[in-house]
Structure 1
Amino acid sequence: MAKSTSVELDPAGASNQATARRETSKKERPISRRRASSLRGEPPGDTAPSMSTMYDRQQLEGFTNTTVTTPRATAEKPHRGRKRRKVKSFFKRWRSIAVRHTWLMPLLVCLVVVALYAIYPHPSNPISAALFLSYPLPRAKGDGPDVLVQYGKGKKDFAFVAFYTIFLSFTREFIMQRMLRPLSIRAGLKSRAKQARFMEQAYTAIYFAVLGPLGLYVMSRTPVWYFNTAGMLEGFPHKTHDAVFKTYYLTQAAYWAQQMIVLLMGLEKPRKDFKELVAHHIITLALIFASYRFHFTYMGLAVYVTMDVSDFFLATSKLLNYIEAPIVIPYFMIFLGAWAYLRHFINLRILASMIPLPLPFPDAVNTQIHNTIGFAGNLTSRGFGLASPVLQPITSVSASLFPETANLISRIPSLVMEWFNTPPTFQTIGPFDLNWETQQYKCWISQWIVFVMLLALQLVNLFWFFLILRILWRLVASWGEVVEDDRSDADDSVEGAEDRKDDLDIMRKEQGVIGELEKPALLVNGIPLPEGETGVEVQVANGEMR
């Protein structure tokens, strides 16, 4: 702000005196009109207006205190800062809209991609790889029209997964905000936290209600039906697939990639098992990529189905719990059975088909290890033989009561040695060798890698199964009065406090964006001054100009 200048004026003749001084100044020194600068505005550092434009030329009547802002020369071209300010204001407004409607940005990206393809709708268009399957193989001679077209694999599949990751982000946000939020309110959920959980689980249930049966249908068209561990390895390597199989597999990859984005961006409220959930998503994405790249897609298909169907029962069980449905307890028992069967029994069968694992040592070391294990088995058998006089009464009674069980117990050492010396299904079905040229990756290295990754996934599932069993125990101990998600953050009082905190955070976030948009600006002739510039105020009060 420029320093104020005080000048004594006669209230009645102030305007005439000022006009006379200006006319005298014009006669003494002519003023040349400044040409428009190529900078399209005044250089920074010299932005103060001239003193001759700091007040109106006509006499002001009927007031005692008036503030007049400094006008700019109308002939001057618009300042570059005005354009920047308009662009900045546009982006602020767009950010405000995008914060409230999170589905708009992925929708625009999808529309742009579709528009780019529509300009030249041909397979040679690079955008085609994002919308449609790539690498179709020509039909072999003699194949009839009933033979399905096979598709290979390649780098363009990443474009397909990336586009449908964005598309699933749009569908998730749109369905949750436009369809599921009103449904959650109608269901009587008042807090934002409960509405958010309802929407998350409802969207999950909708997705897996579609992809779960589709996965079973895809499985029925392959040798894997019904979770046949031998069929997972028949015809390896599985380098080509029909359109339905490949679309299903890559769509699932896009879904789990989108779920990882949801976790990283914090779109869902973290739970107590947040670290385990992140580990689960990382393991799942690693399994998807490795199975697709190294042609273990039949095994990946079986794992997909076990996860999808159990996730559907999990999501619907939570929904019934949120709305306090009367059938929540019977349905919880159905979910418990589906989880235990699919995520543990079936997946443990897949793990069992890969053991015993080959020893990753030189042949001489492996032979020594086998000899040591054989010696330990023989020593155990001799120990049972020496202890037979002591164990004879017990074994005789057990043999008379439970003959089959006693026979099985007596055969345990021999069964262990037989199992250890029998190669697993992973080795016996199909080639078992590493050959990069023929893309034959089923070997002892891949056996260890697949086993360790599936075991890690099984450990995470066992952690969640422990939490589910704890809910079951609480349900039984309370005689069916309590059914809670053991991963919830706290009780209702703490949840209510967190709801209020979330509401305040959302309000502050929205008001912060709107406040930037509605920030008052200094106007000169109806045009806001750039940031950092200010006019010089002229106040006329009681005949004194300040």
Structure 2
Amino acid sequence: MSMATGSEASPSLAAEPKPNGSADGTRRRRTSSLRGEPPGDTSVPALATMYDHEPLPAQVSSPVQKSNPERAHRGRKRRKVKSLYRRWKSISLRHTWLNPLIICLVVVALYLVNPSEDNPLHSALFLSYPLPRKQGEPADAPLQYGKGARDFAFVGFYTIVLTFTREFTMQRILRPLAIRAGMKTRGKQARFMEQAYTAIYFGFLGPLGLYVMKKTPVWYFNTDGMYEGFPHRSHLAEVKTYYLFQAAYWAQQMIVLMLAQEKPRKDFKELVAHHIITISLIYLSYAFHFTYMGLAVYTTHDISDFFLATSKILNYMESPIVIPYFIIFLCSWAYLRHFINLRILFSLLPLPMPFPDPINEQILSVLSTFTSYGSSVVAALAPVTAPIVNFASTIFPETVSLLQSIPDRTTTYFNTPSDFATVGPYELNWETQQYKCWISQYITFGLLLALQLVNMFWFYLILRILWRLVASGFKETDDVRSEDSEVDAAEREVTLDELRKEQSDAWAGETGADIRAASDSKPQVLVNGVPVDKANGEAR
């Protein structure tokens, strides 16, 4: 006869059986009203949603070894340091907003020691490079700000500030709201928190972008205003603050995306590509004075991101208005991300011939040969096509006239220089920082085209969701899904209190945890390795 003890190291993550569950582990649930989740660039995880479901590993005590007093003293100091490090790591993972807050407070405290422009930290908290007013300007004229390397300090500090606000808002405000709304799985809570924070952020920054744009020649998405008066080397305080703050937001998003330790989502590659293109556009547009163009691109994406995030939130909450709101979101996405951005893209067309003049002339001669050949083919087919064209002209005269004018319109379009080349100066001069030339035209067009292709891919996925809604007659259905297939291991139902208890048990003291586990467990009597109750049951 022997004694055995059994205890759990941490609370079980398995959810209790559902009242509406069946015996085979399946349960009936309502499908999402949208029959899918709208894709987009608002799916970047946060530190809070990456680490909150990972229980910290229990500390394993090392075997006791005999040593002299001096070595024992050094060993105790090392264990104390390791214990402090483990506690700090545990607190940092449970409260991901704490370290960014400490860094921000340290920076502010160091600045308050000498609150002046001589303090190196002044450029981290406030705008740098204020320009003196021009002669004859009134004293109350708005101050202009230039650009320089110290702007990186501003972006870096507010990247940390945004990390704190994102993590604190999600953990302390949005998670309780998600639980109160009935979202019990970790995955659903995480997605709700991410989208809710995105909606809050762009709910402020979207209207702010329109307000800032109204103070510039770009209002309302005026493409000529992007090029007039180039180069735009100085800006109002509102414009520069908005531009750099947005740069800090996307830098913070990119850092968290690169640190993501969760399973990549379906459109992870497209999301990474979108962020790389966005960061490249932000840096190049600011450094080479295309900030007015960047301001328009910012605004179109911010407003559409707000509708995207709120549409996802309503979908998670299974709101009855999710379908009509989804239609509103789809229209805003199509108008802002495609119609407006394609207008900006077309202002860069046609692209100039990048080769020396002799080579350009050869290329143009080849193109003219193909054009004349096409005209001869059309003329040869005229006896066959003329009756058809005449008949169609009687029914759709305007459409036929438009189609017939396409060749001439195309020739005129490609023989006319772009707005990028004709509005404002068009030359490369490093001394005057004049960068609006054929090289920047190709680079800008390539980046904006890449961004447009990513948005078109997402728009295709959004239209697929719309098609499924139309095919189903905008009706919601019930379906039976396996609990194991629907909920991933990382999304087991667990409340916030259970999660905190799980983590606190994990980082508890080494020996203390073992002693409590041993004292809380009940001894069992075994007969040949089988518990007595079970053995008696078999005997009966």
The TM-score, its normalising length taken from structure 1, stands at: 0.77
User: Residue in 2 aligned with 1:427?
Assistant: 421
Q: 1:510, CA displacement in angstroms?
A: 8.8
In the alignment, which of 230, 243, 249 is matched to residue 255 of structure 1?
249
Letter of the structure 1 residue corresponding to residue 180 of structure 2: R
In the alignment, which of 299, 304, 326 is matched to residue 305 of structure 1?
299
Q: Secondary structure at the match of 1:520?
A: helix
Q: 1:269 to 1:309 in 2, by over 3 A?
A: farther
Q: Are the aligned partners of 1:380 and 1:413 in contact in 2 as well (CA < 8 Å)?
A: no
Q: 1:48 to 1:98 in 2, by over 3 A?
A: closer
In the alignment, which of 354, 357, 362 is matched to residue 368 of structure 1?
362
Q: 1:406, CA displacement in angstroms?
A: 1.4
Q: 1:158 to 1:382 in 2, by over 3 A?
A: same
2:318 is the alignment partner of 1:324: yes
Letter of the structure 2 residue corresponding to residue 519 of structure 1: E
User: Residue in 2 aligned with 1:123?
Assistant: 117
RMSD (CA atoms): 2.5
Matches within 5 A, 1:261-276: 261-266=255-260, 270-276=264-270
Matches within 5 A, 1:39-58: 48=67
Q: 1:379 to 1:510 in 2, by over 3 A?
A: farther
Matches within 5 A, 1:325-344: 325-344=319-338
In the alignment, which of 455, 465, 472 is matched to residue 466 of structure 2?
472
User: Residue in 2 aligned with 1:159?
Assistant: 153
Q: Are the aligned partners of 1:224 and 1:298 in contact in 2 as well (CA < 8 Å)?
A: yes
Cα distance in structure 2, aligned partners of 1:242 and 1:81: 60
User: Residue in 1 aligned with 2:487?
Assistant: 496
2:283 is the alignment partner of 1:292: no
Q: 1:508, CA displacement in angstroms?
A: 10
Cα distance in structure 1, aligned partners of 2:206 and 2:471: 34
Letter of the structure 2 residue corresponding to residue 327 of structure 1: I
- Structure 1 runs not aligned, ≥5 long: 1-45, 50-71, 484-489, 522-546
Name whichever of 129-138 and 91-100 sits farther off: 91-100
Number of equivalenced pairs: 445
Letter of the structure 1 residue corresponding to residue 292 of structure 2: Y
Q: 1:90, CA displacement in angstroms?
A: 1.6
Q: 1:407, CA displacement in angstroms?
A: 1.5
User: Residue in 2 aligned with 1:386?
Assistant: 380
Q: Are the aligned partners of 2:127 and 2:241 in contact in 1 as well (CA < 8 Å)?
A: yes
- Structure 2 runs not aligned, ≥5 long: 1-64, 513-540
Matches within 5 A, 1:56-455: 79-266=73-260, 270-455=264-449
In the alignment, which of 492, 509, 516 is matched to residue 518 of structure 1?
509
Q: Are the aligned partners of 1:161 and 1:251 in contact in 2 as well (CA < 8 Å)?
A: yes
Q: 1:194, CA displacement in angstroms?
A: 0.4
Q: 1:509, CA displacement in angstroms?
A: 11
Letter of the structure 2 residue corresponding to residue 87 of structure 1: V
Q: 1:493, CA displacement in angstroms?
A: 4.8
CA deviation vs aligned residue, 1:402-422 (integer Å, no higher than 9, x gap): 222211211221111111110
Cα distance in structure 1, aligned partners of 2:99 and 2:255: 15
Q: 1:412 to 1:498 in 2, by over 3 A?
A: same
Cα distance in structure 2, aligned partners of 1:225 and 1:219: 6
Cα distance in structure 2, aligned partners of 1:491 and 1:206: 35
CA deviation vs aligned residue, 1:287-327 (integer Å, no higher than 9, x gap): 00000000000000000001000000000000001001111
Cα distance in structure 2, aligned partners of 1:513 and 1:390: 84
User: Residue in 1 aligned with 2:17?
Assistant: none
Letter of the structure 2 residue corresponding to residue 131 of structure 1: L
Letter of the structure 1 residue corresponding to residue 371 of structure 2: G
Q: 1:426, CA displacement in angstroms?
A: 0.5
Name whichever of 407-416 and 174-183 sits farther off: 407-416
Q: 1:227, CA displacement in angstroms?
A: 0.6
Cα distance in structure 2, aligned partners of 1:516 and 1:498: 22
Runs (4+) of structure 1 moved beyond 4 Å?
Answer: 46-49, 490-493, 500-504, 506-517
Q: 1:494, CA displacement in angstroms?
A: 2.6
Query: Which structure's relative contact order is higher, taking Cα pairs within 8 Å and 6+ residues apart?
Result: 2
Name whichever of 278-287 and 400-409 sits farther off: 400-409
Q: Secondary structure at the match of 1:231?
A: helix
Q: Are the aligned partners of 2:185 and 2:494 in contact in 1 as well (CA < 8 Å)?
A: no
The TM-score, its normalising length taken from structure 2, stands at: 0.78
Identity %: 63
Q: 1:335 to 1:362 in 2, by over 3 A?
A: same
Letter of the structure 1 residue corresponding to residue 511 of structure 2: P
Cα distance in structure 1, aligned partners of 2:206 and 2:262: 23
Name whichever of 332-341 and 94-103 sits farther off: 94-103
